[in-house]
Structure 1
Amino acid sequence: MQITLAGQGEALLLLHGFPDSAKLWRKMIPGLVDAGFQVIAPDQRGFGETTAPAKVADYSIDRIAVDAIALLDTLGIERAGLVGHDWGAVIGWRLAADHPERFSGFVALSVGHPKATLRAGFRQKLKSWYFLLFLLRGIGEAVVRAADFKALGWMTRQDPEMVNWRRDLSRPGRLTAGMNWYRANIAALSKADFPPARIPVLGLIGSADVALGTEQMRDSADYADVSFRCEVIEGAGHWLPLSAAAAIEPKIVGFLKSVR
């Protein structure tokens, strides 16, 4: 596993999602270090410079959550703050439910609790249409890769990060690895038994998120046993750590310092 480590102080684990790597956090790491955190930002399975297993099952939520706990164990860290974006937020919700003793608080960026997303209604289902494409093995890859990743650019509204995504996903097996996160977990996300968080949670979502509506984040309050607060970042899109770093960083720092 490739890991970015920076700073000293209270440990803070940052988990990215699709189609990113630890580079997602590059604009926030200096500020988080200055705020007194030791930042731990891994490239998760299949992304960045971390290995990409071939089997779909290797990308299950439970297995990737084990990666996070194993990383803390390897570094000798008993307790940390937790921030997750996109699929990293889904992993964060699982960690906040299953390992409350290891985390002081959790900041969910863009993605609310899976049960809240599941019940969010027809508008959210329309926003999640790309799930169906990614589930089609071979077809999903062909569509997204065609014409130099033109479809991915359209789906992400030509986000400036496309230059990094295109380079990373062009490597052999990496686009399939990213889509395998969807293929391995669609059944689990569709079930009604995803457990609630057992640590304090702060949910942050952009009002212009292309993939997720604010409702699914606000309704996550129903699946947080300790405490939950939701804030909408007006005008911000999906990739908050890149496009809204200055807005969300003080919120993250303030929340984590209040619960540690």
Structure 2
Amino acid sequence: MRVNVNDIDLEVQVSGEGPAVLLVHGYPDTHACWRHQVAALNAAGYRTIAPDLRGFGASGKPADLKSYELGQYVADLSGVLDQVGVERVHLVGHDWGSTLAQLLAITAPDRVAGLACLSVGHPAAFRAAGWEQREKSWYMLLFQFPDIAERWLAQDDFRNLREMLTEHPDAEEVVERMRDPQALSSGLAIYRTGVPPETLVTWPYDLPAIQVPTMGVWSTRDRFLTERAMTGTAEHVTGPWRYERLDGAGHWMQLEAPDEVNELLLGFLAGTDG
């Protein structure tokens, strides 16, 4: 379905009946990255809401960078919930979607039953994870440079993007979407507003603690995130905290190891229902 929130049209997949689960994708994905979780959650009696974030998939792609500030994405998520009539929701986020889900949980805790963070932990934990994490995050600095980053990703038939997506089961689909120059730039916008260079060294923002029940899941073959960047999230959660280490999967765990991820999500959601 199409919904209009904050003067932008968003593509949203809504299915199932029962307690609501908002599934928030990251870079460079769309709502389709949740297809295995949607099937499992619907079968278990949950209603799933999976939007394409602004700048991704079939959702609107504004031209100005200001339209991609993190607060805009979070407002979109709240607006989607309003449009589909959901007052209280379980949040599941992966990659950038994890960061956005955390910000929604922090700003509207009364609206959130529980929060599952896949791959990406709290922003302050990310910065506190040390040089190993900074080394893995080298591409975030490259992505700051308009045109240069786009050319680097697209050169030699997207050779560099393909290398970054080595473990991604949908790599070819991603490449085909990114052949559209508008999609390529709008996907990078979240890096340009969300992690300007100074935040790769220090975290200047004083975010309130996450108050809701929270689960963090990190996978051992993730080439982009360290375990410490996830486990350090515990210091920023005042609600119940649970950590799970998923052996053998890479960064896109929900696609690479769907059965294991589904089992973790269903167990966590069952504990936060009510």
Pairs within 5 Å for 1:204-243: 204-243=217-256
AA at the equivalent of 1:204: V
Aligned to 1:185: 194
Aligned to 1:124: 133
Name the SS of the counterpart of 1:40 in structure 2.
strand
Aligned partners of 2:37, 2:107: CA distance in 1, in Å?
27
Aligned to 1:53: 62
Aligned partners of 2:236, 2:205: CA distance in 1, in Å?
12
Aligned to 1:26: 35
Aligned to 1:161: 170
AA at the equivalent of 1:9: G
Pairs within 5 Å for 1:56-205: 56-157=65-166, 159-187=168-196, 190-205=203-218
Aligned partners of 2:41, 2:157: CA distance in 1, in Å?
35
Would you say the 8 A contact 2:40–2:262 is kept in 1? Answer: yes
Shift in Å at residue 143 of structure 1? 0.2
Shift in Å at residue 158 of structure 1? 5.3
Aligned partners of 1:86, 1:55: CA distance in 2, in Å?
23
Aligned to 2:271: 258
Stretches of 4+ moved more than 4 A in 1? none
AA at the equivalent of 2:149: G
> Quick one: which of 1, 11, 15 aligns to 2:24?
15
Would you say the 8 A contact 1:114–1:194 is kept in 2? Answer: no
Aligned partners of 2:136, 2:205: CA distance in 1, in Å?
20
Question: Given the superposition, is the C-alpha separation of residues 160 and 251 from structure 1 closer, same or farther in structure 2, using an over 3 Å criterion?
Answer: closer
AA at the equivalent of 1:138: D
AA at the equivalent of 1:57: K
TM-score of the two chains, using structure 1 as the length reference: 0.97
Shift in Å at residue 246 of structure 1? 0.5
Would you say the 8 A contact 2:169–2:255 is kept in 1? Answer: no
Would you say the 8 A contact 1:113–1:217 is kept in 2? Answer: yes
AA at the equivalent of 1:197: I
Aligned to 2:6: none
AA at the equivalent of 1:6: S
Shift in Å at residue 41 of structure 1? 0.3
Aligned partners of 2:119, 2:108: CA distance in 1, in Å?
21
Shift in Å at residue 253 of structure 1? 1.0
AA at the equivalent of 2:162: G
TM-score of the two chains, using structure 2 as the length reference: 0.92
AA at the equivalent of 1:99: A
AA at the equivalent of 2:245: V
Long gaps (5+) in structure 1: none
Give the percent of matched residue pairs that are identical in Structure 1 and Structure 2: 35
Would you say the 8 A contact 2:169–2:256 is kept in 1? Answer: no
